[in-house]
Amino acid sequence: MTAERPAGSMRRQLDLADILDLRAYERERDARRAEVMALKRDRRVGVGPLVTLVFENRVTIWYQVQEMVRAERMLEDSQVLEELEAYNPLIPNPGELSATLFIELTTDEELREWLPKLVGIERSVLLVIGAGGTSEAAPLPSGDGSELVVRAVPDAEQSEMLTREAVTASVHYLRFGLGSDAIERFAREPVALAIDHPAYREATLLGDRTKASLLADLRGQ
């Protein structure tokens, strides 16, 4: 059973007025960085030993844009607009979750071993709503119809650019679409984040703080 994004939702995009100039951002950077890192702690989920997902929202994307503007010393509006065009699609609509998937490999040997094995992993990520009970060992979907399974949809443009037949990218951008019934089940039932790739079958239950943060996205708060 799958759920789709509700029709007619509006994307909460950033515009030029949201982006601080370099001097203003430098004055606020330490405090803003601390706030975003605290937020990301609740929105970072490890799935097995090699994969981490960070769920994005308007705040995390704002921070990424500000850091790019700072790193590249962008002074022209046109430069900032290019960054906004690239990053705004990662802000979830109400009824959606948006995530960046990282394959956490640190050595050349690991890269050579795992990136060919994990081709297609961006199409193998699931939310399993109603799975696992209160167990710490979250299962993959049972297949008996008791769970609601929401499969992530990869960003098509990014996948086309970075993924090849023989090797995958180490970063992928994903989106989950949930209808109103799925959101209510998400709120009241255990939720697992799972990967059912043939070479990597792992799952983890979402903690209460993570679920609460993601519910704010789903409800457009």
d(CA 120, CA 128): 19
DSSP string, 103-151: E---SHHHHHHHHHHTTTGGGSEEEEET-STT-SSPPPP-SSS-SEEEE
The amino acid occupying position 68 is: M
Q: What is the mean pLDDT of residues 141-168?
A: 78
* Within-domain flag for 6: no
* Within-domain flag for 3: no
Look up residue 154 and give its two tokens: 């990869």
Q: What is the mean pLDDT of residues 150-179?
A: 84
- State the total domains in the chain: 1
Query: b/e per residue, 102-115, with b = 16+ CB within 10 A?
Result: bbebeeeeeeeebb
* Within-domain flag for 5: no
Question: What pLDDT is recorded for position 147?
Answer: 85
- Is the pLDDT at 7 greater than 90, yes or no? no
Q: How long, in residues, is the chain?
A: 221
* Within-domain flag for 62: yes
Nearby residues of 185 by Cβ (< 8 Å), 6 or more positions away? 129, 130, 148
- Please tell me whether residue 185 adopts helix, strand or coil conformation: helix
- Please tell me whether residue 221 adopts helix, strand or coil conformation: coil
* Within-domain flag for 4: no
The amino acid occupying position 27 is: R
- Confidence class for position 143, pLDDT limits 50, 70, 90: low
* Within-domain flag for 86: yes
Question: What pLDDT is recorded for position 165?
Answer: 76
Question: What pLDDT is recorded for position 30?
Answer: 97
Percent of the chain with pLDDT over 70: 85
* Within-domain flag for 8: no
* Per-residue pLDDT reduced to its tens digit, 39-66: 999 999 999 999 999 999 999 999 999 9
* Within-domain flag for 1: no
Question: What pLDDT is recorded for position 134?
Answer: 41
* Per-residue pLDDT reduced to its tens digit, 82-130: 999 999 999 999 999 999 999 999 999 999 999 999 999 999 999 999 9
Q: Which residues constitute the domain of residue 142?
A: 16-218
- Is the pLDDT at 161 greater than 90, yes or no? no
What is the CB-side half-sphere exposure of residue 203 using CA atoms within 13 A?
A: 23
- Is the pLDDT at 3 greater than 50, yes or no? no
Nearby residues of 186 by Cβ (< 8 Å), 6 or more positions away? 127, 129, 178, 211, 214, 215, 218
